[in-house]
């Protein structure tokens, strides 16, 4: 029994956080329709389990990294 519990703990730690589409809509302060539009535009990868759609922590981080805007002032020598 202990081994099984320890194994489950490891899976939880390695898998990270899972986000629903409603979580994303709330996080970015947009409508759920906007999240579906982003999915249709292939702006991020996602996981489908039956009729449910989720994003892993890694997928969310990739989405944020791909949409990062760097400061214009960083490269200027004034």
Q: What is the CATH number of domain 14-63?
A: 3.90.105
State the pLDDT confidence band at 13, using cuts at 50, 70 and 90: very low
CA-wise closest residue to 64 among 19, 15, 32, 31: 19
The structural domains of the chain, with segments of one domain joined by +, span: 14-63
State the pLDDT confidence band at 69, using cuts at 50, 70 and 90: confident
Instruction: Output the pTM of the full model.
Output: 0.66
19-67 pLDDT tens trace: 999 999 999 999 999 999 999 999 999 999 999 999 999 999 999 888 8
Spatial neighbors of 24 by CB under 8 A, at least 6 apart, are: 35, 55, 60
């Amino acid at each position: 029994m202990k081994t099984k519990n320890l194994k489950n703990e490891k899976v939880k730690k390695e898998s990270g956080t899972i986000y629903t589409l409603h979580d994303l809509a709330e996080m970015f302060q947009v409508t759920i329709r906007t999240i579906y539009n982003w999915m249709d535009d292939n702006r991020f990868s996602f996981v489908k389990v039956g009729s449910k759609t989720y994003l892993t922590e890694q997928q969310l981080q990739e989405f944020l990294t791909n949409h990062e805007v760097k400061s214009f002032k960083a490269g200027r020598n004034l």
